[in-house]
Each structure stands twice: as C-alpha cells, then as structure tokens.
C-alpha cells in the first residue's frame, strides 16, 4: 500500500506587503497527516487555507521548512520534479476552478491525462465519462463557457478525480453548490478516497463536511492548530 502520509516541519510562507516589508501568511512548526486520512482545514477567509493546500501540492515552495510525502522530500525537488510528482499523485480542486472555457466538459476533465500522453485511452475516456455522470453533469460535449458556476465546480472535481489520485486536495469544493449537489460531491470525495486509501484534505467552512473528517486543523492568524 502506498504511503500517502505527509509531514511538514518548520514551515513558513512569507510575502511582501505594498511597502516591501515581509510578513508571514502561514506558519506550520509541525504537522503530521496520516496516510489515507480524511483531514479538514478550517478557518476564516484569508487565513491561509489555500496557501496550505498549494504548499502540500507542491505548487508553492515554502520560504522555510520542509514538506515530505511518504519518503518523498517534496520541498527539495526542482519545479519540473514537483510537476511530475503532482501529475502522478495529486488531484486538486481549486476555488476558481481553472477550467478552459473553449473546451468541452469532457476535454477539461481529461486534460490532466494529456499532460502525460498525447490522448486519453478508451478506458480513460470512459472513466472520465463515468465521473462526469456520477456528478450529475449532462451533455459532456458542452463548453465550459456556458456552464453555471455550480456546474463548473463539479467539472473541476471530475478533473481532479479522473486519474485516480492517491492524494486529493479540495479547496471549498461545495461553495457554489446547492444542498443536494453539495451532498453528492461530498459523498463522492469520501467514497473515492476510501476506495483507494487516498489521503483526502479539504479546506472548507462547511460544518457538514468538517464533521465527517478524521481530524480537523484550524488556521488562526496564519498558524495551524488542531481543532478542539
């Protein structure tokens, strides 16, 4: 079984304000995430939840400290090495979705596959269509530009899951959804994670999601704390 545990040590993310002065946006002295765990990240808007997810995905290199997934020292990798590792291991749902408006639902969902090969296989396309259908999305040929915000969010989730990632990172995945769709998306995330013993980390304000987690961390003033 793949070791999908994560360890963060002495981690800080610093940025500069408009006057050029450094300030901390995230501080994680130590954080251990067990392999296959379902972890919630809570906290107010602007607290650093998205920053933490981007650090865990290798999209953002911390100013100090280390990020290790299993035995993989992610923070020591080059940009190219992190990109390859991320493609092979991570499915990420972004708050702003990052869909390509001119592409269809299906083309957006299989896009991660195209980074690894020229085109999706028949099985991979069928996997994409199955995930699309499971999220209640109709007509996979529709362009992303004509979709509602809730539909775009579900396309972003399908794209994150299509390659059966061992690590799933989701940033407010139900924020634009009605109650029925939010419940469907939440169930799918947990089902996908548990079927493959994937590590699931969700940043959310929703108590209905956080209550289902194995463990919840709260970010307060840029510092990560275990929730009571």
Read off the CATH number of the domain in which 133 is found: 3.40.50.300
pLDDT mean by block of 10 residues, the chain; 228 residues:
91 91 92 96 92 96 96 94 94 94 95 74 91 93 95 95 95 91 93 95 94 94 80
Bridge partners of residue 225, in order along the sequence? 218
pLDDT value of position 97: 93
pLDDT value of position 121: 84
Specify if 119 maps to a domain: yes
Dihedral over alpha carbons 158, 209, 62, 219 (to 10 degrees): 160
pLDDT value of position 113: 83
d(CA 122, CA 162) in angstroms, rounded, equals 13
Specify if 117 maps to a domain: yes
Specify if 114 maps to a domain: yes
Which range marks the domain in which residue 151 is found?
36-61+77-214
Specify if 3 maps to a domain: no
Specify if 208 maps to a domain: yes
- Number of domains making up the chain: 1
Specify if 21 maps to a domain: no
Specify if 16 maps to a domain: no
Burial 149-162 (b: 16+ CB within 10 A, else e): ebbbbbbbbbbbbb
pLDDT value of position 116: 64
pLDDT value of position 176: 86
pLDDT value of position 17: 86
d(CA 42, CA 212) in angstroms, rounded, equals 13
Specify if 24 maps to a domain: no
CA 41 → CA 10, 47, 83, distances in Å?
19, 10, 24
pLDDT value of position 212: 95
pLDDT value of position 117: 64
d(CA 109, CA 132) in angstroms, rounded, equals 8
């Amino acid at each position: 079984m793949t070791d999908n545990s994560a360890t963060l040590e002495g981690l800080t993310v610093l940025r500069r304000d408009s006057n050029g002065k450094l300030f901390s946006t995230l501080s994680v002295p130590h954080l251990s995430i067990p392999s296959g765990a379902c972890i919630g990240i809570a906290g107010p808007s602007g607290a650093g939840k998205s920053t933490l997810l981007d650090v865990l995905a290798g999209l953002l290199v911390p100013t100090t400290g280390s990020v290790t997934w299993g035995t993989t020292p992610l923070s020591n990798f080059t940009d190219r090495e992190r990109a390859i590792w991320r493609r092979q291991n991570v499915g990420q749902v972004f708050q702003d979705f990052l869909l390509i408006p001119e592409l269809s639902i299906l083309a957006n969902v299989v896009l991660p596959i195209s980074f690894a090969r020229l085109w999706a296989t028949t099985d991979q396309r069928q996997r994409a269509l199955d995930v699309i259908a499971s999220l209640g999305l109709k007509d996979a040929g529709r362009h992303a530009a004509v979709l509602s915000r809730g539909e775009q969010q579900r396309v972003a989730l399908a794209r994150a899951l299509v390659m059966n990632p061992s690590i799933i990172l989701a940033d407010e995945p139900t924020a634009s959804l009605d109650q029925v769709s939010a419940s469907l998306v939440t169930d799918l995330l947990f089902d996908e994670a548990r079927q493959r013993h994937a590590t699931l980390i969700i940043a959310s304000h929703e108590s209905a999601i956080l209550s289902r987690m194995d463990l919840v961390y709260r970010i307060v003033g840029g510092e990560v704390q275990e929730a009571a």
